[in-house]
Each structure stands twice: as structure tokens, then as C-alpha cells.
Amino acid sequence: MASEESSDPHSHPPYDYSATRRDFLLKLGVGINAVAGALIGIPLIGYAVSSLIRNDRDVWIKLGPVDNFPENTIRRAVFTDPFKREADGQTADLTCWVRRETGEKFTIFAANCTHLGCPVRWFEQSKLFLCPCHGGAFYEDGEHAAGPPPRSLYQYAAKVENDQLMIKAGVLPTLAAPGSTP
Ligand code: FES
């Protein structure tokens, strides 16, 4: 049989196409896996690193002169996320509720309901923060009054400097990152 093949002038040496195709598919698979790994791994690394530097994102910014917030009132205030990026647009404008009791005794509540995050609103007539989504209600000190929210309103840390009310912004206050301690 071997002598027949060598005597045929039109015969070619056998070519192992399968080996070449296997190499190509192997390299393609490695490449795809490397790209997929980078796409998954880079955000995970970013998330892990961002949690380590989270405290660096706490910054104090001005909410305005204290005279803008009369005693025994609750007023809405808006501030811009100090880490705003161009793509954020209006979503970087954050609402909070400022309660001034007397003197420099301020409490700043996050506007997000502690149930599922809808924006709560202060109603002077009923002396309640009310949530439009599922009927959650909070007293003027932020304590839970009614409805499904599991806890009182979150608070930002607040302080007065040079007659300016300051808010510790940069991170939304949550149970994991409470903001009520300056
Ligand atoms: S989000 Fe406010 S009660 Fe559900």
C-alpha cells in the first residue's frame, strides 16, 4: 500500500487539517475567555477597591445660610452630588429635608423612603413625611409612623460652620453607611 502511494505522481503528503483547526479553536477559546474574564473581573475589582476608599467620598458641602431654615420648621433642600459626572445630569441633584428645632440643632433627612426608596415629602398640615408609593409615613423626627417602611428615615450628618449649614454628602446614608455621626 505504501509503495502504491509513493509511486503516484499526483499524490501529496498527508496534511493534518484537524490539528490546525484544533489549535485555532483553542487559541480562539483562550482569547474569548480572557476577554470575558476581563469584562467580569474589572468591575469586580473596581467594586472591591471602591468599598475600601468609600470613606474618602464623605465630604462636607454647604446647604446654605442657617437663616434659610427658620426654627421649628422642616424645609426641603437640594444639593449637588460632589462626585457628579457629566452623564449624571439632573440625577446628581439630590433632595434632602432639613429640620431645624432651635438654634443650631439641625437634622437632615435623606428623602428616600426606607421601604423601597421613593421620595418622601413633608406635609406641614399633618406633620408627617408621606411616601407616595405604598403609604409609608414618618413623624417629624423621622421615626416610622405607619405603612411598610421597616425603619425611620436615614439621616445625613449636619453641622454649622460660619453660619452655613453643612451636610456630609458624597454617600447616601444607609444602615451600612450611617451618616448621622459627624
Ligand atoms: S417606598 Fe415608601 S412605602 Fe414603599
Which residue has the CA at smallest separation from atom 1 of ligand 1? 116
Check: CB of residue 118 under 8 Å from CB of residue 126.
Answer: no
Torsion angle of the four alpha carbons 89, 163, 76, 174, in this order, in degrees rounded to the nearest 10: 70
Question: Range with the lowest mean pLDDT among 15-19, 45-49, 64-68, 152-156?
Answer: 15-19
Up-side HSE of residue 64: CA atoms within 13 Å toward CB? Answer: 14
Question: Range with the lowest mean pLDDT among 16-30, 31-45, 119-133, 167-181?
Answer: 167-181
Check: CB of residue 156 under 8 Å from CB of residue 168.
Answer: yes
Average pLDDT, integer, range 112-139:
97
- Pocket of ligand 1 contains residue 134 by CB under 6 Å: yes
Report, in angstroms and rounded to the nearest whole number, the Rg of the chain calculated over CA atoms: 31
Residue 135 CA: which ligand 1 atom is closest? 3
- Pocket of ligand 1 contains residue 113 by CB under 6 Å: yes
Share of the chain above pLDDT 90, in %: 58
DSSP character for 119?
A: B
- Pocket of ligand 1 contains residue 147 by CB under 6 Å: yes
Q: Under DSSP, is residue 56 helix (H, G, I), strand (E, B) or coil?
A: helix
**Single-letter residue type at 48:** A
Check: CB of residue 99 under 8 Å from CB of residue 106.
Answer: yes
Average pLDDT, integer, range 50-55:
60
Q: Which three cell numbers stand for residue 63?
A: 446647604
More confident residue, 53 or 94: 94
Class for the domain spanning 59-169: mainly beta
pLDDT above 90 for 122: yes
Instruction: State how far the Cα of 77 lies from the Cα of 4, in Å rounded to an integer.
Output: 94
- Pocket of ligand 1 contains residue 25 by CB under 6 Å: no
Residue 147 CA: which ligand 1 atom is closest? 3
Instruction: Tell me the CA–centroid distance for residue 147 and ligand 1, in Å.
Output: 8
Burial of residue 35, with CB atoms counted within 10 A of its CB: 0-12 exposed, 13-18 middle, 19 or more buried: exposed
- Pocket of ligand 1 contains residue 64 by CB under 6 Å: no
- Pocket of ligand 1 contains residue 27 by CB under 6 Å: no
pLDDT above 60 for 140: yes
Which range among 9-23, 40-54, 76-90 has the greatest average pLDDT?
76-90
- Count how many residues are written for the chain: 182
Q: What are phi and psi of 43, to 5 degrees?
A: -65, -35
Confidence of residue 41 (pLDDT cuts 50, 70, 90): confident
Instruction: State how far the Cα of 63 lies from the Cα of 93, in Å rounded to an integer.
Output: 12
What is the overall mean pLDDT for the chain? 86
